[in-house]
Amino acid sequence: MGNEDPAPKKRKKRRAEAAADVPEATPAVAPTEGARPRKALAAGGTLLPLGLALVGIGPSELGMGITLLSLVVLIYGVHSFGRLGPA
């Protein structure tokens, strides 16, 4: 009777076990499937007037490149946004 410990010793948790006890954090805003096409539309719509303004000032390679890039991004955005469906 004198050999028994009054309180059993707690064993330390391993890191993997301790990490399993902690719930995963959820993002404040859940990413939606339509976020990428919307960003593409916004980027293309913002860059297109900039490129056209640079070309309108005078012939410039930078303006042509920005205009062409923005048109490609807009086409991608419209295409992928349309593929999301009515919902």
* Mean pLDDT, residues 55-66 taken together: 92
pLDDT at residue 36, rounded to an integer = 85
% of the chain with per-residue pLDDT over 90:
37
pLDDT at 33: 66
Over the stretch 71-82, which tens digit does the pLDDT of each residue have?
999 999 888 887
Q: Which of 73, 18, 60 is nearest to 52 (CA)?
A: 60
pLDDT of residue 30: 44
Distances (CA, A) of 23 to 16, 26, 66, 76: 13, 9, 45, 38
pTM (two decimals): 0.57
Q: With a cut of 70, say whether residue 61 has pLDDT above it.
A: yes
